[in-house]
Chains A and B, each alone.
Chain A
Amino acid sequence: MTRKTADPATKRLAILAGLALFWVAIIGLKLLKLQVVEHHAYLRLAEQQQRRGVELEAPRGAVLDRNGEPLALSLPVESVCINPKRAPELTVVSGLLAPILGLDRHELYGRLKDAAARGRGFLWVKRRISLDEAERLRSLRLDWIEFRHESRRHYPKGMLAAHVLGAVDHRERGNAGIEQGFDEVLRGRAGKARLLTDVQQRSILAQIAAEAQPGSDVILTIDERIQHIAERELANAVTSNSCTSGSIVVMNPHTGDILALASYPTFDPNSTVGSAGDMESRANQAVSVPFEPGSVFKVITLTAALETTPLRPESIIPCGSGRINLFGRVIRDHRSYSSLSMADVLANSSNIGAIQVGLRVGERRLLEYVRRFGFGTTTGVPLPGESAGLVRELKNWGKSSIGSVAMGHEISTTTVQLAQAVGVIANGGTVVAPKLVLKVRKPNGRTETEPVKPGHRIIQPETAITMRKMMEGVVLHGTGKLARLNGYTAGGKTGSAQIFDLQNKRYTHQYNASFMGFAPVTNPALVAVVTLNGASRYGGAVAAPVFREVVTAALRLMDVPRDLPDAPPSREDGPVEFDDLAIADLGSPAPTLPEPGIPDQVARVELWGPTIPDFHGKTMRAVVEESSERGLPVSLIGSGIARAQMPAAGSILPLGGRITVQFAR
């Protein structure tokens, strides 16, 4: 029996198998060490490398105008930072990052070295980098470069509605305007996610720990077209009249919607705060800066009189030939009127007349009406720093304070308060709080209309209508002639209040020139208040034209039907009297500034003359024949058949007047 010996091939195979088994055993042991013995340590290292927490951005909501035009938008951007402790050689880091980010290599190296020397573990390399820069940095796939999500606020319309919008700080938190007032609504809440990444820092899976909540969009009542016109005209008026500042508010008197709110000087919200002058330009003159209103306040005095006394527009008010002695203090009028009807007191802005009316009302009732109109309290517009103005308690009134308050002194108001007050006259007697935010649109698309504060009646509708007619008289034949609109009726009141010099403790010859009004008269679609601070001319001369330009354009944009035919500006208008100065320095004679080129006399409405025939439906030839037969001057516009005429048929043609006839086919 022979022992069976293995052949060499089998031996070699057995050796190979043994070696393989040994190799497998070594690997198994290593795996055992990695997976079991040192499991936790390696798990921790793996998680450090593969998992990282990221912040999910929640973009700030947009601010839009009432037509959905964007006024403020946020653009998500990235900022790049590094941990100087984790970064490799600093010269390499600066040499790598500087060219991509457009930074100075030496400057970056200095910052890195400084941060490393101080032992800081975090350094912003560059904030708010461009998409291209982020892409190039990301392609480097370096784990020591970190990206942080941020966003940059853009105001694409530049300076438009700057004071309404405000601005944001470097953390994108509102620091002025609606950005601050509605910061909680606009600001989103960032979410958190855990990101699983591979060795090249490419994300594989994101586990959201907390969902990001973007901010809501805020839709304003502002109409950017009207806002632009208001800003343009205000800037023109302030610069051409060498005023220091100015403001304008255009509002719907029925809803309280502020269609335009402008302040001058203005600023670009895209730029950061620079000089002290820049800070001044950021002050919202319409909301935060109160001033003595002057003669525009006579509207309140006369309204109180209509409500509480038997005085009517035609009631004769003694004007003492322009002088009154009020508790030992002599007050003078800007003109010597012996007596005026109450309507003319308003139209000619007689100080003595207003004081006489105020005395009839009485200080207690006058103060009550001042408060009813909303003076002395904030209107509630969601803009920070709104001033309540100043209305003193009755116990703090002096003996002659009734005279001062009746013509708009010893009291201070803001432009937006005046808009609220004139809105009462325009809407028929209800005080409606100004509104700046129309609705809020949630990220899910659902819109929430801002709650409207219910208006409450403070004067009778009859009183409001009477005041409207009286204020129309101001525009037609009073101090506010330059506020006459083309195609629309309008009412208003001019005001010029002397500015008090705090250093010299006396009133200066510079004015807060203002005009507040509404249009059209029968059913006002909007009210507007214009204030120019530091003017050397009166409100009727400098503020009324701003009202005319802004309101005419706004009514056209709002498609408000005209209640007058369009007519070329009449050249036959009489001289214009603007002097509506509310004399603040009650003991001194009234300073009278001569208007260059404007004779110092009151324009009168002549009520005699030829009766105007009816040209409707007649041909141009027939109109010319008839008018020349009667000796009437006519202006013919268009061709075809007479469709409209101004003045109306049957009325009296004023002296020097001209009939305008419009023809159409």
Chain B
Amino acid sequence: MATQATWYGRYGVAAEAGVSTAADVRRVRLEAYRLRALPNEDVYFYRKAIDNSRLVRESNPQANARCFRVIATTSALTLLLLVLLWPKAYGIIAGYQIESLKSQQQKLLVEQRALEIKEATLLSPERLEEMAKYQQFIDPAPGQVVHLNPKADGSLAMNVPSK
């Protein structure tokens, strides 16, 4: 069984063993080097069972009550603080949201107005006329359009008896 002290002090064994000369020390060290053990080869751990079952906590009702009072008071104060601060905090959060939505609304209104302007520009009579010319849409020549004159009963067509 080895302790940590043994472990850390194992290279000091030579000095403690009365080796004084430099040649001896070198020899011991060389030997130690040559014969160095595997790491932790000489370390052993063991479990020591301790039985605390006989220990009994002494009951202290006053301390318990004081503890509960502190917890209750702190909780109540925290709750009160929350209740008092919540509307304010909520108001600030809501304020941010409202202002953000207002800004968004304004942006959308501007965008809508910009689109209206664009639409009006695209629908200008001059542009439509140019497009119509490009598409070769032309006004019908005089006489090319036949207007049906409705009869008294409102009918626009009639069957002509074949001769």
Q: For the complex formed, measure the closest distance between the CB of B105 and the CB atoms of chain A, giving whole angstroms.
A: 12
* CB of A284 within 8 Å of the partner chain: no
A156-B121 contact, Cβ under 8 Å, with A75-B110, A638-B146: yes
Binds B, one of A113-121, A165-173, A533-541, A564-572: A564-572
- Tell me, yes or no, whether A158 is within 8 Å of chain B by CB: yes
Known: A75-B114, A202-B96, A204-B99. A158 touches B126 (CB 8 A): yes
Given contacts A206-B102, A486-B142, contact A225 B125 (CB under 8 A): yes
B88 to chain A, nearest CB (A): 11
- 0/1 interface trace, chain B 69-84, chain A, CB 8 Å (1 if under): 0000000000000000
Contacts of B25 in A (CB 8 A): none
Alpha-carbon separation in the docked complex, A156 to B114 (Å): 10
Look across to chain A and name the residue whose beta carbon is closest to the beta carbon of B110. A76
Of B96, B114, B118, B160, the residue contacting A641 (CB under 8 A) is: B160
Interface residue B138 (Cβ < 8 Å from any Cβ of A): no
Interface residue A323 (Cβ < 8 Å from any Cβ of B): no
Tell whether A643 is near chain B: CB-to-CB under 8 Å. Answer: yes
Q: How far, in whole Å, are A641 and B160 apart by their CA atoms in the complex?
A: 9
In the assembly, what is the distance between CA of A157 and CA of B114, in Å?
A: 14
A203/B142 contact (C-beta < 8 A), A75-B117, A156-B117, A644-B149 known: no
Q: Pick the interface stretch among A338-346, A352-360, A657-665.
A: A657-665
Residue from the set A203, A569, A660 with the largest chain B CB neighbour count within 10 Å: A203
Within B115-163, the residues touching A (CB, 8 Å) are: 116-118, 120-121, 123-126, 129, 141-143, 145-149, 157, 160
| Chain B binding surface SS class | helix
B113 at the interface (CB under 8 A from A): yes
CA distance A156 to B121 in the complex (A): 5
Q: Would A202 and B142 count as touching, CB distance under 8 A?
A: no
Q: Which of B129, B143, B160 contacts A567 (CB 8 A)?
A: B143
Contact residues of B between 52 and 111, Cβ < 8 Å to A: 92, 95-96, 98-99, 102-103, 106-107, 109-111
Q: Please indicate the chain A residues that have their CB under 8 angstroms from the CB of B114 in the complex.
A: 75
Interface string of A613-645 (1 = CB under 8 A from B): 000000000000000000000010110110110
CA distance A664 to B102 in the complex (A): 63
Q: Which of A70, A160, A205, A227 interacts with B116 by CB under 8 Å?
A: A70
CB pair A154–B117 under 8 Å, yes or no, is: yes
- Cβ contacts under 8 Å, A73 to chain B: 113, 116-117, 120
Q: Are B113 and A662 in contact (CB under 8 A)?
A: no
- Smallest Cβ distance from B119 to chain A, in angstroms? 8
Given contacts A73-B117, A75-B110, A664-B148, contact A203 B99 (CB under 8 A): yes
Name the contact of B143 in the complex, choosing from A131, A158, A227, A637 (C-beta under 8 A).
A637
Chain A residues, CB < 8 A from B103: 203
Interface flag for A439 (CB, 8 Å):
no
Q: Are B125 and A157 in contact (CB under 8 A)?
A: yes
Instruction: Say whether B146 contacts A664, CB under 8 Å.
Output: yes
For residue B162, give the distance in angstroms from its CB to the closest CB of chain A.
11
Complex contacts, A225 vs chain B, CB 8 Å = 125
In the complex, A257 has a CB within 8 A of chain B: no
Closest to A203 in B: B99
Cβ–Cβ contact A76 & B121, under 8 A? no
On whether A566 and B143 interact (CB within 8 A), knowing A154-B117, A156-B121, A157-B120, the answer reads: yes
Measured CA separation A486–B123 after assembly (Å): 28
Is A472 part of the contact surface with B, judged by Cβ < 8 Å? no
> What's the Cα separation between A225 and B120 when bound, in Å?
13
Judge if A196 is at the interface, Cβ distance under 8 Å: yes
List residues of chain A with CB within 8 A of the CB of B107.
Answer: 131
Count class of interface residues, chain B: 20 to 34
Does A562 belong to the interface (CB within 8 Å)? yes
In the complex, what distance in Å separates the CA atom of A643 from the CA atom of B155? Answer: 13
Contacts of A563 in B (CB 8 A): none
Residue from the list B113, B124, B145 in contact with A158, Cβ < 8 A: B124
- The minimal Cβ–Cβ distance linking A620 to chain B, given in whole angstroms, is 12
Q: Is the CB of A643 within 8 A of B149?
A: yes
Minimal beta-carbon separation of B150 from chain A (angstroms): 10
B143 touches A204 (CB 8 A): no
Residue A228 interfacial (CB < 8 Å)? yes
Q: In the assembled complex, which residues on chain B have CB atoms less than 8 Å from the CB atom of A600?
A: none
A665 touches B157 (CB 8 A): yes
State the Cβ distance, A106 to closest chain B Cβ, in Å: 32
Q: Which residues of B contact A154 (CB under 8 A)?
A: 117
User: Which residue from A158, A196, A662 sits with its C-beta under 8 Å from B95?
Assistant: A196
A204 CA to B160 CA in the complex, in Å?
Answer: 81
Q: Which residues of chain A come closer than 8 Å to B95, judged between CB atoms? A: 196, 203-205
Residues of B within 8 A of A107 (CB): none
B156: shortest Cβ distance to chain A, in Å?
A: 9
Residues of chain A in range 530-589 having any CB-CB distance to chain B below 8 Å: 562, 565-569
Chain B nearest Cβ from A411, distance in angstroms = 36
- Nearest-neighbor residue (CB-CB) of B91 within chain A: A205
Indicate whether A224 reaches chain B with its CB closer than 8 angstroms.
yes
Residues of B within 8 Å of A47, CB to CB, are: none
Closest Cβ of chain A to B125, distance in Å, is: 4
Output the nearest chain A residue to B99 by Cβ-Cβ distance: A203
A-B contact pairs, 30 of them (CB 8 A): A69-B123, A70-B117, A70-B120, A73-B113, A73-B117, A75-B110, A75-B114, A76-B110, A131-B107, A156-B117, A156-B120, A156-B121, A158-B124, A202-B96, A203-B99, A204-B96, A205-B99, A206-B99, A206-B102, A227-B125, A228-B125, A228-B126, A562-B147, A566-B142, A566-B147, A567-B142, A568-B142, A638-B146, A644-B147, A665-B157
Besides A75-B114, A206-B102, A227-B125, 18 new A-B residue pairs in contact (Cβ under 8 A), listed by A number: A70-B116, A73-B117, A75-B110, A131-B107, A156-B120, A157-B120, A157-B125, A158-B126, A196-B95, A204-B92, A204-B99, A205-B98, A565-B147, A566-B145, A568-B141, A643-B148, A643-B149, A660-B143
Report which B residues bind A (CB closer than 8 A).
92, 95-96, 98-99, 102-103, 106-107, 109-111, 113-114, 116-118, 120-121, 123-126, 129, 141-143, 145-149, 157, 160
Ranked 10 nearest A-B pairs via Cβ: A156-B120, A228-B125, A568-B143, A204-B95, A156-B121, A203-B99, A157-B124, A205-B95, A70-B120, A638-B146
